[in-house]
Amino acid sequence: MVDSAKFDFSPLPVFPTRIMKSLRLIVLSVLIATLCACLHAQDTLFVRDLQVTPGAMSKNISGIEIKCNVVLKAKSAGLSAVRNDNLVLYLMGGNGNIVGARSSNEEYRDTKGQFKVQFALQPNKKDVVSTTPVTLFLPYYAINLPAGKQTLLLRPRLKRSFSGTAEEVAVEFVNGEAMQSIEMPAVTRLQISLPDVKVAETNLNGKTWDDKLGINEPNKFMPDLKYKLLLEGAISDEVYTSPEVKNSYTAQWPNAGATLSLTDKDKVTLIVIDEDDLKEERIGVKNLNLKALQDANSASEPLEFDRVEKLKLVLTTVK
């Protein structure tokens, strides 16, 4: 039988509410400090075997090709066991500022208007070193610098999988220099308008463009027209999409939609489209360099290509 006299059944001491609140705050502060230390522990990027090739071509676009091996030594796993980080490359000019991007080119511009290009790194775990072969293409048309020799500093940053921003991290270049001297070509800024377009009544297979079921109207077979301007390099940079002209074989877009920037080696891709509910059907595609654009602008006869029977192009140079 248990002797109850050996046990002390007096009430446990009660801590004042103020002390309990203070203890909770201390514990919470320690947890937050630990989490911040985890999130902001230093990552290191090693850029190895850097090769920079000015004047390279990617499809229809000229620019700078950069090849290297990027070694990421990750110290912060964030809130995820496996990280999927991106290398984001910026350029710093001779004035000490990050180089800007030309305004019409969304794919190479960050939210601050700075030129950037990014590449997905190999998935990485905390305290694991990953190596990613990286090829970056920097189109001249998107880099907001004047023609002539420019001294540029490559500024890699890391866009972490748990963060939406590109952050500064420790960077070391091995077998390659961060400072590069680049000869920038002249860039012509221009606007394109299409005041007169006519397309064929059938596609390449001899079929009508549309067949709007349940609509008993003469124009049920007519296309819904629009056009796009693309700069197709390593990335397809959609510069402009026109308003849609419904149920018609002809269209007029007299107002210029966007400002293009082109070197004399670049080609802009002009696509005339039949816009359907489920897909876009290409009526005609034409690649035009700067000289071809100028020739089309001054020609007395309109362009004719694929199922586009007539296309008048007007070119305006922007200073």
How far, in Å, CA of 49 to CA of 57, rounded?
Answer: 21
Instruction: Note whether 160 and 228 are same-domain residues.
Output: no
Cβ atoms 117, 108 nearer than 8 A: yes
SS3 5: helix
User: What's the CATH number where 251 sits?
Assistant: 2.60.40.150
Number of domains comprising the chain: 2
Instruction: Note whether 233 and 291 are same-domain residues.
Output: yes
Give 129-144 pLDDT, tens digit per residue.
Answer: 889 999 999 999 999 9
Instruction: Note whether 205 and 172 are same-domain residues.
Output: no
- Name residues whose C-beta falls within 8 Å of residue 151's C-beta, 6 or more positions apart in sequence: 93, 94, 179, 180, 181, 182
SS3 311: strand
Average of per-residue pLDDT across 99-110: 84
Give 28-45 pLDDT, tens digit per residue.
Answer: 554 554 444 444 457 889
Instruction: Note whether 203 and 177 are same-domain residues.
Output: no
Instruction: Note whether 193 and 166 are same-domain residues.
Output: no
Instruction: Note whether 79 and 208 are same-domain residues.
Output: no
What is the rounded average pLDDT for all residues in the chain? Answer: 85
Instruction: Note whether 108 and 224 are same-domain residues.
Output: no
Instruction: Note whether 162 and 66 are same-domain residues.
Output: yes
Identify the pLDDT of residue 38.
Answer: 47
- On whether residue 115 sits in a domain, the answer given is yes
Look up the domain containing 292 and give its range.
188-318
Cβ atoms 304, 296 nearer than 8 A: no
Prediction pTM value: 0.81
Q: Which band of pLDDT confidence, cut at 50, 70 and 90, is reported for residue 59?
A: very high
- On whether residue 16 sits in a domain, the answer given is no
The residue ranges of DSSP E strands in the chain, in sequence order, are 44-58, 61-73, 82-83, 86-92, 117-120, 124-125, 129-139, 148-159, 166-167, 170-174, 179-184, 188-199, 225-232, 236-241, 250-253, 259-262, 267-275, 280-289, 303-305, 308-318
Instruction: Note whether 74 and 107 are same-domain residues.
Output: yes
- Nearest CA to 124 among 64, 155, 84, 78? 84
Identify the pLDDT of residue 216.
Answer: 59
Q: Which residue has the tokens 């670049």?
A: 266
Identify the pLDDT of residue 192.
Answer: 95
DSSP string, 278-289: S-EEEEEEEEEE
